[in-house]
Amino acid sequence: MSRGTVLVTGGAGYIGSHTVVELLKEGYDAVVVDNMGNAVQGDNGPESLHRVEKITGKKVTFYELDLREPEKLEKVFKDHKITAVLHFAGLKSVNESVSQPLEYYNNNISGTLILLEIMMKYGVKQFVFSSSATVYGPPEQNPVDEPHRVGFGITNPYGRTKYFIEEILRDVVIADPEWRVTMLRYFNPVGAHESGLIGEDPDGPPNNLMPYVSQVAIGRRPHLVVFGNDWETPDGTGVRDWIHVVDLAVGHIAALNKLPSNAGIKVYNLGTGRGYSVLEAVKEFEKASGKEVKYVIGPRRPGDLANVVADAQLSEKELGWKATRGLPEMCADLWRWQDQNPYGFRKKEDAK
């Protein structure tokens, strides 16, 4: 018997597709909406979701639509008895947001507002929001815990869209205490499903470190550019809290399961609590893949920070969730995905 029907926005994307796997394993039905902006079309739907069905042996209902198309989105709510929403849909590149701020504000904030309005109309008031550690801005202490100041000194429009949406959600809950909203601030997702069937598949050169590293290792890119070696860190390169995408997906299910008893607004960090520098991560990936990853040092990138690590004790205490996969497993699973799918979900001639 189904535990309920969950709408997953952006569910054909990297984190969304891994979460749909865990959602189906947990006994929920999944309805996915995605505008296919970062997904690859397969036969009758996104290739990622075809592979999710292969992994789980279960059916995923899919609609290709943009959240800024209210008539289409409302039809989904009319046709399905949605019990909760996992909201992943949004543009997510820090670097790209600096050069395309209006696109990020329009897509991320407008889409969320329309989604919330339609949820209100249909009485669906359980919501898990895919937020980000970028809302903290430059950390005043490491590791960063949930009471840390947010919204101050955020270095890029992407992070500000997440912060603004968090504030919108707070106002929604103040206006209507029946809402149950959990905001998950996560750090740096990497890795892939252990099957090697699904993983991160950026359209064009990756904006994040580890997918770029894996594409250098497989021969798609000549070398990695390390953005700055003069940060105040042990080896001069940026330090990040990388979290396995499957741990992240399991964290969303833990938050979803807790929604009925988590009234109001709840905020949780999803991270490992352990930071690795860029060069440490590159060396770990070389070990996992047996390949050399060539790199050059470049200037710092606008919007980047030196060192950000999560304090995830609250999510362990209240959600019963803890990251269990370390960097070696993240690298091994990422390499399995890249090795089995050199061009991701695409054919060689379609890859950029």
Q: What would the DSSP string read from start to end of 59-99?
A: --EEEE--TT-HHHHHHHHHHS-EEEEEE--S---HHHHHH
- What mean pLDDT is predicted for residues 70-89? 98
Grouping H, G, I as helix, E, B as strand and the rest as coil, residue 330 is helix
Tokens 């996969």 appear where?
Answer: 325
What CATH code is assigned to 5-340?
3.40.50.720
Contacts (Cβ under 8 Å, ≥6 apart) of 79: none
State the Cα–Cα distance between residues 43 and 49, nearest whole angstrom.
11
DSSP letter at 279?
Answer: H
Catalytic residue check, 28: no
Single-letter amino acid code for the residue at 82: I
**Neighbour-count burial of 292, counting CB atoms closer than 10 A to its CB (0-12 exposed, 13-18 middle, 19+ buried):** exposed
Full-model pTM:
0.97
Dist CA 143 CA 310 (whole Å): 5
Q: What are phi and psi of 269, to 5 degrees?
A: -80, 140
SS3 of 343, please? coil
C-alpha span between 185 and 129 (Å, rounded): 9
Q: Is the per-residue pLDDT at 43 higher than 90?
A: no
Residue 74 — pLDDT band, cuts 50, 70, 90?
A: very high
The one catalytic residue in 28, 104, 158, 268 is: 158
Q: Residue 97: what pLDDT? A: 93
Of 32, 36, 88, give the one whose Cα is nearest residue 60.
Answer: 32
pLDDT bin (cut points 50, 70, 90) of residue 169 is: very high
Report the helix count and the strand count for the chain, using DSSP H and E: 12, 16
Three-point CA angle 160, 352, 62, nearest 5°: 65
pLDDT in tens, 191-246: 999 999 999 999 889 988 999 999 999 999 999 999 999 999 999 999 999 999 99
- Phi first, then psi, for residue 334 (nearest 5°) are -65, -45
Domain residue spans of the chain: 5-340
CA–CA dist 306, 265 (Å, integer) = 30
pLDDT at residue 305 tops 90: no
349 falls in which pLDDT band (50, 70, 90)?
confident
For the cut 80, the answer to whether the pLDDT of residue 168 exceeds it is yes
DSSP three-state, residue 253: helix
Quote the pLDDT of residue 155.
85
CA–CA dist 168, 68 (Å, integer) = 17
Candidates 322, 136, 146, 142; CA nearest to 244 is 322
In the chain, what is the straight-line distance between the N-terminal and C-terminal CA atoms, in Å? 43
